[in-house]
Amino acid sequence: MSFKSLCAVKGVTANGVKEGKFGLALIRASGTAAGVFTANLAKAAPIELMRKQIKKGRLDAIIANSGCANAYTGTKGYEDAVTMTEYAGSALGVDSNSVGVASTGVIGRYLDMPLIRRQCADVALNLTSTPDAEDSTVRAIMTTDLKPKHALVESEDFTIGAIAKGSGMIAPNMGTMIAFICTDASIDEKSLKEALKLATTRTFNRVVVDGDMSTNDIALCIATGESGKVNPREFSGILETCCRSLAQQIAADGEGASKLLEVTVRGATKEAAAAKVARVVIESPLVKTAVYGEDPNWGRVIAAAGRAGVKFDPNAVSLWISDGNNKYPLVKSGEIIADLTKAKAAMRGDKVIFELDLGAGKEEATAWGCDLTEKYVEINGKYTT
């Protein structure tokens, strides 16, 4: 069994446990650290704590629980988040102020601290650097996810490994989920922070499942430095590749999803403008339901792009549809040339791609999402019961 993520990185051990809906994961990795967080005004207690602790620019471990988000829990919730770092610090022999913490699950409920304390003690005794440990760690933080999410990118000089959870309550403006990233590269705090921010902008912030932004979104990256110094620009590109893999996995595993939806927008005046159009198309319920029904109602893509708040000439756009293997034109410079039979055929697989050229510039961006099915309503209509 080969490595898939975290444990391929020098200096990293991990493990986790899941008991019913309640899980706990520990990651032991020491080094330079950076983080990005949800933009939701109602930030969960662990987010409020980590926004302070990450300013030190170093972490020695991460503790994360699933089943309870510890969000909208006031002073008690914040104190419980601090206590979680103390549990991990004591169990692993590190300063609790250098422990990252994250939670995911139901909002508006308090943590079961005796359970977390017991799980932490048990997991700490079994931290290892094996493929099985990677899998148990990511499964410990899963909620409605159907699949564990791993990413591993290895260069000649260093490795980046990461895990993530995320299936619903996914919308842009931070990390759209929980992600833990480790690398054995040696990189300074400023460069690591910049690289994580750029990677987040181009990957995690371009994933939309349902348009609801979580209270608990967080991505933490720790660089152990055990493979030596790296070129910051090279590192940034490889980190983006790693995060893109996680972003695509999250989109494909959206709650109730049957198809991955990818939208690339080209010909924009700015990358940010292209990204904005791509996100609006991705989150459109009309586009998402058409993809689910394999209905080549491509006019919905044009309509969604037109309300994104980005200036372009609708009569100059071009649009294609693809299944990843075959690509068919729908509009060319404003002229309808769609073959609806071929377009429908391109929607029959588990991946649907739209490519939209605005004809206004040279910048581009890609966003990822999924179709909208009856299963999404079923999952979220009975989430706490």
In whole angstroms, give the CA distance from residue 77 to residue 33: 24
* 125: Cβ contacts below 8 Å, ≥ 6 apart: none
Residue pair 47/39 in contact (Cβ under 8 Å)? The answer is no
**Which one, of 200, 188, 206, lies nearest residue 35 by Cα?**
200
In whole angstroms, give the CA distance from residue 266 to residue 255: 28
Is residue 176 annotated as a catalytic residue, yes or no? yes
Residues for the chain: how many in total?
A: 385
CA 219-224-228 angle, to 5 degrees, is: 125
Radius of gyration of the CA atoms of the chain, in A = 21
User: Residue 184 to residues 7, 57, 225, 328: CA-CA distances in angstroms?
Assistant: 11, 16, 5, 43
Give the number of other Cβ atoms within 10 Å of residue 188's Cβ.
13
Task: Cite the beta strand spans of the chain per DSSP E.
Answer: 13-19, 22-37, 58-68, 99-106, 149-154, 159-165, 178-183, 207-208, 218-223, 260-268, 318-322, 327-332, 335-336, 351-357, 363-370
**Which one, of 159, 149, 339, 344, lies nearest residue 252 by Cα?**
149
Give the number of other Cβ atoms within 10 Å of residue 315's Cβ.
10
**Which one, of 69, 203, 84, lies nearest residue 144 by Cα?**
69
34 phi and psi angles, rounded to 5 deg: -145, 160
Active-site residue, from 13, 176, 183, 200 = 176
**DSSP 8-state assignment for residue 42:** S
One DSSP character per residue, 304-357 reads: HHHTSS----GGG-EEEEE-SS-EEEEEETTEE---HHHHHHTTSSSEEEEEEE
Give the catalytic positions in this structure: 176
